[in-house]
Chains A and B, each alone.
Chain A
Amino acid sequence: MKFGIFYEISVPRPWSRETEKRVFDNCLEQVALADELGFDSVWCVEHHFLEEYSHCSAPEIFLTACAMKTKKMRIGHGIVICVPEFNHPIKIAERTATMDIISGGRLEVGTGRSATWNELGGFRANPDETKKTWDEFVRCLPKMWTQERFGYQGRSWSMPVRAIIPKPYQKPHPPLWVAVTSPGTEIDAAERGIGALGITFGSFKEQEQKVKVYHNLIKNCEPVGSFVNEQVSTVNFLFTHEDTEIGNKVGRRLLGTFNFLAAQLSAARELYPTRSYPSLGLLPALRDQAAGPGDEAGVPEGIAIGNPDRVLHACKMWESVGVDRINFLLNALETVPQEQVLNSLRVFAKYVMPHFQDSSTQAAAAGGGR
């Protein structure tokens, strides 16, 4: 089991230049500490127009700063939107290769297609087309990274033969992932031999089944890349504290705030009837997770909130259903003060990480961080 941190970059109103800067600075401080503590990766979304919920519209720049602030952590571009109105595939290949070089070969490339009308409408993208363009992009990206010259005549995009440069530092190329939110995308991931990123299902039992399907199917995959990236990652919230009452109270506030914020956005399916979006996407999935039935402390099952024992139990449950890594969301609207976020990371590293054999974090965790 590996642990990462995951950023939406949520900025509360009123927006001033100082508010925005403070939030970005806080995130970078958390990233630097997480690297010291032995967290495996930092992931960052690409979102546009999602007021307060996510101001992370230029993740490649934020992640480049993360790479500069860290030494060991993997840098997770999670996800880059593979829809031509948002990102031209050539630019994705060029940008990610550059990020891989600058990070010294630490880049992970998550792919996806956006699930909100805010974004699809804003870029005037056709919701019917996004699954198709995603598929085309992920088949092209590895070739663009690895072939000296690349040309393509496709459905949603084409180009004459050119040298797409630079090439990634990792050879043959960075690992590829796809955000799994719509039902069946875990099958898409398996069939293409790429990692399943951020699967959020209703129950552990359901999760176990989906992970099983993924691992079974990927054995006979037709990899889009030069290698198979067989990994399942999930998203969770994290707030832990030695004092149970503080852990539960602050953690519940984090859940509630995220829930409240996410609800205000407009899922593509809510506004645009299309078979392309059979579910409401990640936001309601996380929302349901956050609002699910809780234990006596009012914290939903499987959510990494509370004292270290409870958080350990939640992580062990996810491990038991075949999840390889958990990426944690640490804050929303700055509702958790920065010192408490940093302390929560330290507490997690000290009390929870050492219980996971495969965690790359044990050595650092023993040190307890700064």
Chain B
Amino acid sequence: MPRSGRMNVEAYAAQAAREIHGYKTEPWSLKGAQILNLHYEIDNDTIDDLLPVTMRPSIPAWGVFNVTRYPESPVGPFTIGEVRIGSRAGVRPRGFVLRSYVDSDAAVRELAQRWGYPTVRGEIYLRAFHDRVVARVADGSGRNVLDMEMIDREPISGADVQYNSSMHLARNQEDGKLVLVQVDPEWVFHKAERGRPHIISLDSQAWAAGNMLRADYPISATFCTCDVTLGRIRYICDPTKDAFQGTTKVAA
């Protein structure tokens, strides 16, 4: 039968999940975001252990290595660095967020409480040069946990770029239960480029992945400028059940 996730969600939650305060946040409109997104094939043998049973690994196994700078937000400018596992919830493509490093205390708090992002304080560097776009993510102690770049920038159409919705494991403040929260951002593209992806270094443990996360094979890289809307939460899932059985609609 088809593969599905087999993550020990309690063990993962103990190190990465944050508390979400209900599912009633208002949307955030985030203008002029700069998004560096790398796709890499990752270790196929361990991907099932990096996903809750609700989700299924994509075939082949791939990850999204993302750094986004939001110059404007309700809590001021912030930059976020994430690793997501390419996966499916039911038949829908999703990215399961392992951890979100954020360089603003206010954004660390708000992203977790409103959308359940597994945030932690970090320092994020993102800079575009003519020959490449460079990003580095460091943890709270300043230690590099991800160092990556997109080489040979080439303009493309934003219509050729596909981002997927993400899912985060969070603990519901009300009942203390673990829940998978789906976030469906909307993107309006102003500028898009692609190039060759290159991950220079990656610290698997720093992404709450034990020794299981390994970037094996480069696929693609994009660097885009978009207006992003982080919308209301529409769906949550029980992380111990299949998505077909365990999905609950929380907003229209």
Q: Which residues of A contact B (CB under 8 A)?
A: 12-13, 49-52, 117-118, 121-122, 259-266, 269-275, 278, 287, 291, 333
Q: Find chain B residues with CB under 8 A from A333 CB.
A: 1-2
A175 to nearest B CB, angstroms?
33
A281 to nearest B CB, angstroms?
12
In the complex the two chains form, is B88's CB within 8 Å of A264's CB? Answer: yes
Q: Find chain B residues with CB under 8 A from A118 CB.
A: 59-60
| Residue B162 lies at the interface, judged by CB distance under 8 Å to chain A | yes
**Contact residues on B (Cβ < 8 Å of other chain), bracket:** 20 to 34
In the complex the two chains form, is A266's CB within 8 Å of B91's CB? Answer: no
In the complex the two chains form, is A266's CB within 8 Å of B60's CB? Answer: yes
Q: How many A-B residue pairs have CB under 8 A?
A: 76
State A269–B88 Cα separation when bound (angstroms). 16
Q: Find chain B residues with CB under 8 A from A49 CB.
A: 59-60
Contacts A121-B60, A263-B91 given; indicate if A271 touches B160 (C-beta within 8 A).
no
Contacts A117-B60, A266-B59 given; indicate if A273 touches B222 (C-beta within 8 A).
yes
| Residue B156 lies at the interface, judged by CB distance under 8 Å to chain A | yes
Contact with A along B215-230 (1 / 0, CB 8 A): 0010110100000000
Q: Tell me the interface secondary structure of chain B in the complex.
A: strand
In the complex the two chains form, is B91's CB within 8 Å of A273's CB? Answer: no
In the complex the two chains form, is A271's CB within 8 Å of B2's CB? Answer: no
| Residue B62 lies at the interface, judged by CB distance under 8 Å to chain A | yes
Q: By CB atoms of chain B within 10 A, which of A49, A270, A273 has the most?
A: A273
Contacts A263-B92, A264-B57 given; indicate if A273 touches B219 (C-beta within 8 A).
no
Contacts A49-B60, A271-B219 given; indicate if A266 touches B86 (C-beta within 8 A).
yes
Q: Find chain B residues with CB under 8 A from A264 CB.
A: 2-3, 56-59, 88
State A261–B3 Cα separation when bound (angstroms). 10
For window 59-115 of chain B, which residues contact chain A by CB distance below 8 Å? Answer: 59-60, 62, 86, 88, 90-93
Q: Find chain B residues with CB under 8 A from A273 CB.
A: 156, 160-162, 192, 194, 220, 222
State A49–B60 Cα separation when bound (angstroms). 8
Residue of B2, B58, B90, B192 near A52 (CB, 8 A) is B2
| Residue B121 lies at the interface, judged by CB distance under 8 Å to chain A | no
Residue of A52, A121, A291 near B217 (CB, 8 A) is A121
State A176–B1 Cα separation when bound (angstroms). 36
For window 22-72 of chain B, which residues contact chain A by CB distance below 8 Å? Answer: 39, 41, 56-60, 62
Residue of B39, B92, B192 near A271 (CB, 8 A) is B39
Residue of B41, B59, B222 near A51 (CB, 8 A) is B59
State A12–B93 Cα separation when bound (angstroms). 22
